[in-house]
A and B are shown apart, each in its own frame.
Chain A
Amino acid sequence: MRGFSIRVYAGTAVLLLAMAGCGGGGSGGGSGGASIPATPPPPTPSPPTVADTSRFLDQATFGVTAGDVGLVQVIGFQAYLAQQLAATPSQYSGFSYTPHTAPATCQYHPATPTDASSLCSRDQYSLFQVQRQFFTHALSDADQLRQRVAFALSQIFVVSGVEIYEAYGMADYQNMLLNDAFVNFRSLLQDVTLSPVMGHYLNMADNDKTNAALGTSPNENYGREVLQLFSIGLYQLNPDGSQMLDSTGAPIPTYDQNVIEGFSSVFTGWTFPPLAGAASQWTNPINYDGMMVAFDSHHEPGTKLLLNGLTLPAGQTSAQDLQMALDDIFNHPNVGPFIGKQLIQHLVTSNPSPAYIARVSAVFADSGSGVRGDMGAVVQAILTDPEARGDAPATANFGRLREPALFITAMLRSLGGQSDGVLPRNAISAMGQPIFTPQTVFNFYPPSFVLPGTETLAPEFGIENAATALARANFVNTVIMQGGAKADPTVTGSTGTSIDLTALSAITYPDGLIAQLNQTLMHGSLSSAASAVILAAVNAQSATDPLAAARTASYLMLSSAQYQVER
């Protein structure tokens, strides 16, 4: 019986893969820098199954590794989450301030793409190195959950390389999200608001008060998007994420143009932090290190209509108005369901049930110790929810299409691969997700994207199409069939990208090979029909090429929709 052989071979090969992973990018518990809490939480009643553990790790990390499966099976979900919440944040490093306009010595020359000037341009005036580090951190660093949440936050609190092209600026912003991944939402919102990177991207930096002589009024960009995208959305929500309806059955807007103008007036009077050693003035030159600074003489002085019926009094300082406005947003009842649902979609499933959203909203409203907005507690609630857990998906439309970044990292981590991030960084654009560079503040795809002809939410399908789907399969081809990429001599410490399939190729019994990959990649969910299809292809490979079977089975599984839709 097939089932019998799967069990036998699965057990054997877990050990093989665990060994193979030691020299690779495995972030397993053994290599983690996280300190185990002094007082361990109460033990989980019974150890989670391999299948549920693997599903959990697909949701909480950048890809399941045998080491992490072993760790979580020993310590349980709660203790693993406690470790992860306490893990030291990984950081983008090696960047420092550069002026907004690149000097002549830092220009890209197409004819000489590897001369010093071109490389300076690439490394300091494009996101190349930041994007590369995104992958190296995701593949190897121990703070997997923190990075996963920070990546989700980067797709909610969007800034883009389209305008933030200075590497140090994007590094600063992403480091902030890594540091803030589990802080209170109110702190996160303030840090985002006062970030000079966001300030430049959505124009709160240098936003001046009304000039009656010129007929100009405050820039509405940040005032609008902070409400629509970063906190409450367009319509009043119930705690379960559904829209409240008025007596005619129509949804109820959360704000109108007057409120937009109120918030736009609040967000006036801020400019970039002064350069080191320079006097601060209205306005300071573009500088992304630090937080924006206020100039009350450029702050709109009048009253401001905000949310929840609040009108700010006239004559307050920039900082006073800002604090009260952010409190006003933070206390709006929409924040829990609006942000909670999106985090569920980024981590677990595109179509959470209303009850799931409501449970997460309740934790946002009160962490259990009377705290509103505890994002660590929210993340724990999302990952331990009964709808997320179990050996198999809770519903037919449960799960999510692995977005390109996670598709790449998961395959490399699960198969013990290694990468300097260069190939992934280069290849992901054709898949529709150039890291930290969506076209607009609306991210690569909207949370509301619906599969054509259905009512099924599928955000990541906003960038899934013929061109991007082929790019995914072709990436698998490059890494699995063609040996990956060699080291790039223009990148310090470059190692290229590769997956060593030697351990898999040691499983000479085709059924066992497929069973092992099924467990490693798919939580054991591969159907017998799909397994038979892969088996036939494996059996058609040359017996004299020791890697042919492992490559074929890996290629087919990784390029399949069954793998790419994580359920």
Chain B
Amino acid sequence: MQRRKFLLHAGALAGTAALGQMGVFASRAATASDYKALVCLFLYGGNDSNNMVVPVDSAGYANYASVRADLALPQAQLLPLQESGGVLRYGFHPALPGLQGLWTSGNLAVVANVGTLVQPLTQAQYLSNSTQKPATLFSHIDQQHEWQSSISTTSSNTGWGGRLSDQFNSLNANSSVPPMISTGGNNLFVTAAATQALVIPVSGSFGLNGFSSSGADAARRSALVSLLGVDRDADLTSAAQDVMSGALSSSAILNPILTSSTATVAQYFTGLTTNFALQLLAIAKVIEAQSELGAQRQVFLATLGSFDTHTDELNQQQALFAQLDPALSAFNAAMAAIGAGSSVTTFTLSDFSRTFSPNTGGGSDHAWGSHHLVMGGAVHGGQIYGTMPTLTPAGPDDAGTEGRWIPTIAVDQYAATLAAWFGADASTLATVLPNLAAFSPSTLNFV
């Protein structure tokens, strides 16, 4: 059994050249028995956070409504977000009632105007080109990659989730599955120095079909495995072989967990049938099985698409939030139910926010700084962290004339706060987030 476990783990890490680097461990403060997981929700396409967190005070709402015109949400429908001391400045989009409840119970925080930066950037510096800007602003795939890598000067082949995970390999030494798992396909965020996340399906069985216990089938299966070990001289071939090696070992362990009908977490997802809800259910099942799997630090990724609302924004965003809200509420309740509420922190990333000024087609275009959600029992919720931008086109926070907010919190700081909670100390943060030193403070205390 011990040997099998070792081989499985080796398979999960097949092709890695980083085994030697595993001696560098960040988790000095960690105890052997603790468990933590980060769950990243990537909102593909650029979520218009201007309509996720909306001013509710009279003057603020009037300004919002006058600029947003046809994109303005009705004031009466906004879900108020009471802050400490009875302050009421903002409300959630009406399709986020579950998240409003989590805000009220202290399990959800908003981080304001986060974005890709190379260093702190004033409007004057931006307009005069005197300070380095992130590469390829306003481009989907590039801004996605910068959010996923926390590197905005150049393209990176690794993500900050991956680099963080690499630092905690010692805590996962007994894990029978890879430390990063994605339900949203391959993604730079969960790409490490030499490995990437295990991608699991959210429905159906996870495994190789068509093998009985007959000797003939055993011989065929044995040959399939043997073929993964020969002809490894070409990068493309060996990469495909490694993917299949990992698939065979991990699916054997995870399929019973993913298809279990007795998981405690499942009841919280009753009635939720969207793909996004199924992704979070699969992640919840894996977390529920963490003691069986042996991992102590896991990084998960789920994704939700179609936020690129150049047209028909009100309907599209409403439909997307209507998927997001119940799934996140269910996930949070499920984590609490299995006693993992404070061990799991869930957070959003997205390409960018969208122009505050609408376009002529009932939508908005690619912008920059955006508000993000952080959820979980360890979160210092019910608060907005950072500074909300002045919602004025061509105003003090605009990179142009259409309401593209220059971020006042860097992705690096957002990431560092989550990584520090995960257990990274200062030197580890500097390794995982090589540009963090450009920003102060390095972490933000929202979790």
**Which residues of chain A have a CB within 8 Å of any CB of chain B?**
162, 202-203, 206-211, 214-221, 224, 228, 234, 253, 257, 260, 268, 350, 393, 396-401, 430, 432, 439-440, 442, 446, 448-456, 458, 461-470, 473-474, 477-478, 481-482, 527, 529-530, 533-534, 536-537, 540-542, 548, 552, 555-556, 559-562, 564-565, 567
Q: Report the stretch among B78-86, B209-217, B286-294 that lies at the interface.
A: B209-217
Q: In the complex, are the beta carbons of B210 and A477 less than 8 A apart?
A: yes
Number of residue pairs A-B, CB distance < 8 angstroms: 236
The 10 closest A-B pairs by CB, nearest first: A540-B219, A465-B199, A453-B194, A466-B247, A561-B240, A537-B223, A477-B210, A208-B360, A221-B310, A529-B230
Q: Does B350 count as interface, using CB distance less than 8 angstroms?
A: no
Q: Does B136 count as interface, using CB distance less than 8 angstroms?
A: yes
Q: In the complex, are the beta carbons of B194 and A214 less than 8 A apart?
A: no
Contacts of B241 in A (CB 8 A): 561
With A458-B239, A463-B185, A529-B231 as contacts: A442 and B140 at CB distance below 8 Å: yes
Whole-angstrom distance from the CB of A1 to the nearest CB of chain B? 20
Closest to A470 in B: B247
Closest to B400 in A: A257
Contacts of B235 in A (CB 8 A): 396-397, 451, 454, 456, 458
Q: In the complex, are the beta carbons of A217 and B359 less than 8 A apart?
A: yes
| Interface size counted on chain B using CB atoms at 8 A | 83
Q: In the complex, are the beta carbons of A561 and B244 less than 8 A apart?
A: yes
Closest to B210 in A: A477
Q: Does B237 count as interface, using CB distance less than 8 angstroms?
A: yes
Q: Does B318 count as interface, using CB distance less than 8 angstroms?
A: no
Complex formed: what's the CA distance from A265 to B246 in Å? 50
Contacts of A257 in B (CB 8 A): 137-138, 400
Most buried by B among A207, A217, A430, A465: A465
Q: In the complex, are the beta carbons of A452 and B234 less than 8 A apart?
A: no
With A257-B138, A548-B216 as contacts: A400 and B236 at CB distance below 8 Å: yes
Q: In the complex, are the beta carbons of A214 and B216 less than 8 A apart?
A: no
Q: In the complex, are the beta carbons of B44 and A474 less than 8 A apart?
A: no
Q: 13 A-B pairs, CB-CB below 8 angstroms? A: A214-B69, A218-B359, A228-B139, A446-B141, A452-B158, A452-B196, A462-B186, A465-B197, A474-B210, A478-B209, A533-B226, A556-B220, A565-B236
Whole-angstrom distance from the CB of A187 to the nearest CB of chain B? 27
The listed residue (A208, A219, A467, A468) touching B310 by CB distance below 8 A is A219
Whole-angstrom distance from the CB of B131 to the nearest CB of chain A? 14
Q: In the complex, are the beta carbons of B366 and A530 less than 8 A apart?
A: no
Q: Does B346 count as interface, using CB distance less than 8 angstroms?
A: no
Q: Does B106 count as interface, using CB distance less than 8 angstroms?
A: no
Whole-angstrom distance from the CB of B81 to the nearest CB of chain A? 27
Q: In the complex, are the beta carbons of B223 and A556 less than 8 A apart?
A: yes
Q: In the complex, are the beta carbons of B224 and A556 less than 8 A apart?
A: yes
Complex formed: what's the CA distance from A332 to B69 in Å? 38
Whole-angstrom distance from the CB of B148 to the nearest CB of chain A? 13
Contacts of A464 in B (CB 8 A): 186, 239-240, 243
Q: In the complex, are the beta carbons of B185 and A561 less than 8 A apart?
A: no
Contacts of A477 in B (CB 8 A): 208-210
Q: In the complex, are the beta carbons of A203 and B310 less than 8 A apart?
A: yes
Q: Which residues, 68 to 84 on B, are CB-close (under 8 Å) to A? A: 69-70
With A221-B365, A453-B193, A529-B231 as contacts: A440 and B308 at CB distance below 8 Å: yes
Q: In the complex, are the beta carbons of A474 and B208 less than 8 A apart?
A: yes
Q: In the complex, are the beta carbons of B360 and A211 less than 8 A apart?
A: yes
Contacts of A218 in B (CB 8 A): 359-360
Q: Does B227 count as interface, using CB distance less than 8 angstroms?
A: yes
Task: Beyond A203-B310, A216-B359, list 5 extra A-B contacts (CB 8 Å).
Answer: A400-B236, A462-B186, A467-B200, A467-B247, A470-B207
Q: Does B204 count as interface, using CB distance less than 8 angstroms?
A: yes
Complex formed: what's the CA distance from A548 to B240 in Å? 26
Contacts of B256 in A (CB 8 A): none
Q: Does B397 count as interface, using CB distance less than 8 angstroms?
A: no
Q: In the complex, are the beta carbons of A481 and B210 less than 8 A apart?
A: yes
Most buried by A among B17, B226, B236: B236
Q: In the complex, are the beta carbons of B236 and A399 less than 8 A apart?
A: yes
Closest to A460 in B: B236
Q: In the complex, are the beta carbons of A456 and B236 less than 8 A apart?
A: yes
Whole-angstrom distance from the CB of B366 to the nearest CB of chain A? 7
Complex formed: what's the CA distance from A430 to B209 in Å? 14
